[in-house]
Amino acid sequence: MKLSGVLFFPVTPFDAGGGLAEEVLAEHISQRMEHGPGAVFVACGTGEFSALSEAEHARAVRVAAEAVGGRVPVFAGAGGPLGAALNQARAAKEAGADGLLLMPPYLAQGPGHGYTAYVSAIASELPVIIYQRGTVALEPDTVVELAGVPGVIGLKDGLGDIDRMQRTVLAVRERFPGFLFFNGLPTAELTMPAYRGIGVELYSSAVFAFAPEIAKAYLNGDERLLTEFYAPLVRLRGKVPGYPVSLVKAGVRLRGLDVGGVRPPLVDVTDEHLEELEALIKTGLELAAS
């Protein structure tokens, strides 16, 4: 499977009663498809994966697959306890997903071969991109082993350890040249120059969810956005835990689509920070249009 361009991670909209707003999700994805993402990753981190029930997760994936209509690959989040992850994988497959982004399992940790067995079981259902972050910090030889597991097609890096990633890319591509790597740090655009330097071109763009014009302008080489939009956005993101998701959802609302708030333990953006975000979006859009 080949991916290119900006990878789109939609938010998961909730209605006034706190339930999944399926029609709004379909509209959100349809609007962003007009800007040509390389793939859609639904019900993942930005989509509040950990706050969704299995039934909500399955419905969100089905809505996404129908809205995309086969134009680009659709990946669904999966993870947590093995039984839950398998249920998510099977439901995503039935709903029309092309692959899974495998989140780190919670709390329980085992040796490397235990994690490999966990991944292998889930990859038997759908192609898997492993998400390296938190409790999952893989050595290059472990990634080489995982790359040889049928169904494992890529690694999303959420650690930001460039030395580790360079060694991993070199080791894996020597044996598996088609294996996918992408930068999965929050506001990944700010670190993409570093990742490009080690041969990792793909990245997940949270900004694409609320300002695809800005994300596409940066992809096309407008590096003014790094200092005048992305760096200030990272500073704002760091003010409150959970803002990597809350700010994205607030940005979508500011651009005219009511996707509701976030679910606990996340908190919504304060009025003061919302004003800062609105000003940043205005600056970014002006730069993107110039």
CA separation (Å) from 5 to 8, 90, 185, 202, 250? 9, 28, 16, 7, 24
Cα–Cα dist 219/188, whole Å: 12
Cα–Cα dist 121/115, whole Å: 10
115, 118, 156, 218: which one is catalytic? 156
Q: Which residues touch 6 (CB under 8 Å, ≥6 apart)?
A: 35, 36, 37, 38, 203, 205, 208, 212, 215, 216, 219
Q: Which of 20, 90, 94, 16 is nearest to 60 (CA)?
A: 20
Q: Burial code of 100-124, b = ≥16 C-beta within 10 A, e = fewer?
A: bbbbbbeeeeeeeeebbebbeebbe
Strands 152-157 and 128-132, sheet pairing: parallel
Q: Which residues touch 143 (CB under 8 Å, ≥6 apart)?
A: 130, 155, 168, 171, 172
Cα–Cα dist 85/119, whole Å: 10
Residue 20 DSSP class: B
282 catalytic? Reply is: no
Q: Token pair of 86, please? A: 């398998």
270 annotated as ligand-binding: no
- Give Cα 236 to chain centroid, integer Å: 19
For residues 102 and 74, is the Cβ–Cβ distance under 8 A? no
What angle separates helix 82-95 from helix 112-123, to the nearest 10 degrees? 30
115, 118, 131, 243: which one is catalytic? 131
Instruction: Return the amino acid letter for 106.
Output: Y
2 catalytic? Reply is: no
Annotated binding site: which residue ranges? 46
Q: Which residue ranges make up the annotated binding site for pyruvate?
A: 46
Residues catalogued as catalytic: 131, 156
